[in-house]
Amino acid sequence: MKSKTKLAFKVLAYLLCAALMIFYLVIFFSKPNVSIEYRLYYIDDVLMDWVGDGGLDYKLGTPINFGTENNDLNARRKGRGWDTSSANYVSVIKNDAPLFFTFDASNDLICTIKFGETNINSYNIKANATTVLNAAKQKNGSVSFEIDKSLISEDRLLTLSFEMDTTDISEQPYLQIISIVINEKEGE
C-alpha cells in the first residue's frame, strides 16, 4: 500500500512538472497583443520617443513641421538616424532613418516633403521598404511623390525611410527635412 502511494505521488509529481513546463512554454511563446506604438518603441526599439498608444495616428493633410521649436506630439514620429538638435528642421544622418505614420487611406497618396540643405549626392525615399522616389537631388525646396495605397501595411502603418548616396562624401552626411504633409489623392 505504502509503495502504491509512493508510486502515485511520483507519477503526480512528474505530471505536475509536465503541466508546469507546458504552461511556461505557452507564456514564453505568446505573441504580444499591443499597439503599434508600443511594439515600435518597447519591443522593436526603433521609435525614439514614447508617444502613447495611438500617438502615431496621422490626420491626412496635416502639415508636420520639424525642429526643436515644433516638437509637438505630431512631430515625434522619428526612428533612429536623425539629428534633432536644430530649431527648424531635422537631419537624416544615417541611412534608413524612418518616419512612422498610422492612418486609414482609401486612395493612393501624395507626399510632399520640404527639404533644406544637404551635402550628399542624391537620396532615395522608401515607403515600407519599397522605393517610391529614386535618386532625387532636390534641396532647399519641396518634392512631391506618389505612394500606392497597397504599400500601407495591414496594421495601418506607413514607414517613410531615407536612403542617402554618400559616395565620395568624407564628412558627416546630412539631409535636412523641414516639413512633411501626406494627402490622399482624389479618387478617379
Partner 1 sequence: MLSKPISFIKERINRYFVISKHRTLNYFLFTLALIIISRLLMIAFFISKYGTLRDYIIFTTSTYDNNWFGSIITGGYVKEPNGHAAGDAANWAFFPLAPLMVKIFSFNCLLNYRVVGIILNTLFFALAITVAYRYVTDFHDSIKVVLIFTAIMVFGPFSFYFSSLYSESLFMLLTMLFLYHLRRENYILMGIFGAALSATRVTGVLMAFAVLVYVICKHVKEKRGNVIVFIKETLQNHRLILGVCLIPLGLFLYMLYLKNLTGDAFAFMHIQKAWGRHL
Q: Residue with C-alpha cell 504633409?
A: 181
Judged by CB under 8 A, the stretch of 33-41, 130-138, 150-158, 173-181 that binds partner 1 is 33-41
84: Cβ contacts below 8 Å, ≥ 6 apart: 48, 66, 68, 71, 78, 90
Spacing of C-alpha 186 from chain mean position: 26
41 touching partner 1, by CB under 8 A? yes
Smallest CA-to-CA distance from 177 within 116, 104, 86 is with: 116
Question: Applying CB under 8 A, which of residues 1, 2, 5, 30 lies at the interface with partner 1?
Answer: 30
Q: Give 114's strand partners.
A: 142, 179
24 touching partner 1, by CB under 8 A? yes
Please give the grid coordinates belonging to residue 158: 506607413
* CB of residue 122 to partner 1, shortest distance in Å: 33
Give the Cβ contact number of residue 115 at 10 Å.
21
61 touching partner 1, by CB under 8 A? no
38 touching partner 1, by CB under 8 A? yes
**Using H for helix, E for strand and C for coil, what is the string for 58-120?**
CCCCCCEECCHHHCCHHHCCECCCEECCCCCCEEECCCCEEEEEECCCCCCEEEEEEEEEECC
Nearer to partner 1, 30 or 106 (CB): 30
Question: Applying CB under 8 A, which of residues 16, 87, 135, 169 lies at the interface with partner 1?
Answer: 16
170 touching partner 1, by CB under 8 A? no
Count, residues in the chain: 188
Question: Applying CB under 8 A, which of residues 8, 21, 135, 169 lies at the interface with partner 1?
Answer: 21
Nearer to partner 1, 16 or 87 (CB): 16
169 touching partner 1, by CB under 8 A? no
Give residues in contact with partner 1 (CB under 8 A): 9-10, 13-14, 16-17, 20-21, 23-24, 27-28, 30, 32-34, 38, 41-43, 45, 49-50, 52-53
